[in-house]
Structure 1
Amino acid sequence: MAEAFLPQPETYRPAKLLASGGLAGAISRTFTAPIDRLKFLLQVQDGRTMMTLRQGLARMAEEGTMKAYFRGNGANVLKNIPETALKLTCNDVVKASVVSDGHAISLGERLVVGGVSGAIAQGAIYPLEVIQTRLAVSRVGTYKGILDAAHKIRHQEGYRAFFRGITPCMLGILPYAGLDIAAFELMKEHLHGQYADDAPPAYLLAAGMLSSTGAQLVSYPLGLVRTRLQAQGIGGEPLKYSGMLDVFRKTIRHEGVRGLYKGLMPNLMKIAPAAGISWVVFEKAKQHLKVADPRCSSQ
């Protein structure tokens, strides 16, 4: 017999969800910021010779300050607070409407809800995604900060530069967010069934790491294409690529298929703890704020 657990009416439910998601995004991204910058440095290196992890770390160390390891993190946090909040909130709200008639939500519905939620969130903050990439890969002194980067990109390259790479981004976020959210929720529901709605944080952390790692492996080439499109044209320089398909074509021709996976190792090193921390903080913040969890289980 299917039994739906529906959320009780809460006056401040959307605000609580946004606060929980925002806190989750800020903490997880700051914790993994050095690995994130390392990933960007490896992704934008074209040619068959791959920058190693050691060379990437040396490039950051050459800048001489601790701030070098966190370049772009201000933009990253600024974008991830609304992005994570919107993604997790949209998923929660849309899922609640899907299960409101009492039927058990299917895997296909989870994938669609998660993918759409991720796309909405990513689209809303995309210009900050471009700014983060530019701050992470540019040489010291190119940009003084978030506002200076925004001003120079607009002045030197025009408003369209803020949306370079959005096509592969949207194509990638649908399977990534869909698989990530659906897999995590299935594992979370299994854990809640075993631990009476109070699963140990370590198990939630592991579930978040597993779900995001699997999703990342599926969508990674599109992420690399997005980063290369975002990073080109700094200071008004000529563009290397005319679009998404051109990046795929040139990368495979000059670097081989392996080129599409440059930066994968540091990305996996980052995505697992970042996603795990994000999910744990989100779930625990919802519990602290007494936000009901709309889900279905069967007996």
Structure 2
Amino acid sequence: MERNSHFTSSSFRSLLSGIRYQHLVAGLCGGVASTLVTHPFDLIKLRFAVQDGAVTDQRPKYQGLTHAFRTIYRQDGILGLYRGSSANVVGAGLSWGFYFFFYNAFKFQAQDGNLKRQLSPLMHMLLASCAGVLTLSLTNPIWVIKTRLCLPDTESVPSHMRYKGLRDGLWKLYKYEGIRGLYKGYIPGLVGTSHGTIQFVVYEELKKTYCNYQSIPITAQLGPLTYIAMAATSKAVAASVTYPYQVIRARLQDQEQKYSGVISTIKRTWRNEGYKGFYKGLKPNLIKVVPATCITFVVYEYMSKLLLQQ
């Protein structure tokens, strides 16, 4: 009994020793910086994603990326392109912060405290999946609000259900829709954790291969262009493979069109729009996520090393 107690306390201390707040701060800074730069593309991606051709949809229809930018700017000015940006900044900052925080804590344990120990792709996949599920569970309510704030209000949405901001949105969402409302789109979001998993596995494998080729330790600080190339490649691969879940999640979180569930949404999208319906908004998404990820990873890599050195 004493040996088991000693083992448990030792394991707990070992787990705590692997927790570094620096990863949380660095990831948060990277997420905020990238979101501030690329939010307009995210907003347009969401508006394309929910544009399912329903005759009851009173929102403007966009014919392409340029037309969307011009229409929004003409109707609402530059602020219209940053509608919902507060929720997006908070959501992206917390998501990246939590993701890097959990991922590196799990990674430290898998390495038995030896940061130079290289892990297998399967282990990276497992760690990234666990970090993704935990992060989504903590941030899903923010993404529901962000989606709704980015979409234009219509007469079909009651005035008491229109949000003035993130805090007001969270309160009204919980008040009128309860816990289920806070976690709308959670199931496709869980499927979407494969996005982060693919991205991190590709990124870690690229970094490991590069370090082995250069005969340098895996913990070595690389140049910004190297980080950018790795981040861009990993994000482009992940985004292209997993994009349909984002369309499904956005439609479930939308207030205008009512979808009854994941399976129903998939069937309705396929029936009315074919496979192209699952890729609506992919172009602005790629234009947004690739540079956003590059900014996030470069800021994270440099910030984390700076904070850890101090």
Same-fold call, TM > 0.5?
yes
Deviation, 1:11, is 7.5
Q: Give the Cα separation in 2 of the matches to 1:63 and 1:226.
A: 27
Deviation, 1:22, is 0.8
When normalised by structure 2's length, the TM-score is 0.82
Match of 1:154 in 2: 174
| Candidates 21, 24, 30, aligned match of 1:24 | 30
Q: Which runs of 4+ in 1 moved over 3 A?
A: 9-13, 48-51, 101-104, 154-159, 190-193
Match of 1:179 in 2: 198
| Candidates 222, 230, 240, aligned match of 1:207 | 230
Is 1:71 matched up with 2:94?
A: no
Percent identity, aligned pairs only, is: 28
Query: Contact 2:232/2:291 (CA < 8 Å) preserved in 1?
Result: yes
The runs of 5 or more residues in structure 1 that have no matched partner are: 1-8, 293-299
Distance 1:280 1:100, change over 3 A: same
Match of 1:145 in 2: 165
When normalised by structure 1's length, the TM-score is 0.85
Distance 1:16 1:198, change over 3 A: closer
User: Within 5 A, what are the aligned runs for 1:1-299?
Assistant: 14-47=20-53, 51-100=63-112, 104-139=118-153, 142-173=162-193, 175-193=194-212, 194=214, 196=216, 197-232=220-255, 240-290=258-308
Match of 2:11 in 1: none
Q: Give the Cα separation in 2 of the matches to 1:46 and 1:136.
A: 16
Query: Contact 1:41/1:56 (CA < 8 Å) preserved in 2?
Result: no
Amino acid paired to 1:282: Y
For structure 1, which segment, 97-106 or 177-186, has the greater mean C-alpha deviation from structure 2 after superposition? Answer: 97-106
Q: Give the Cα separation in 1 of the matches to 2:69 and 2:302.
A: 34
Query: Contact 2:18/2:105 (CA < 8 Å) preserved in 1?
Result: no
RMSD: 2.5
Query: Contact 2:18/2:109 (CA < 8 Å) preserved in 1?
Result: no
Q: Give the Cα separation in 2 of the matches to 1:291 and 1:96.
A: 17
Encode CA deviations 1:108-152: one digit per residue, 9 max, x unaligned: 111111121112111111100000000001328943222222233
The runs of 5 or more residues in structure 2 that have no matched partner are: 1-14, 55-60
Query: Contact 1:79/1:125 (CA < 8 Å) preserved in 2?
Result: yes
Encode CA deviations 1:151-188: one digit per residue, 9 max, x unaligned: 33334434422211100111111x21111111111222
Distance 1:216 1:291, change over 3 A: farther
Q: Give the Cα separation in 2 of the matches to 1:55 and 1:156.
A: 35
Deviation, 1:224, is 0.7
Larger-Rg structure: 2
Encode CA deviations 1:23-74: one digit per residue, 9 max, x unaligned: 1111111111111101011001002987421332133213333211111111
Query: Contact 1:42/1:51 (CA < 8 Å) preserved in 2?
Result: no
Q: Give the Cα separation in 1 of the matches to 2:174 and 2:236.
A: 35
Distance 1:287 1:117, change over 3 A: same
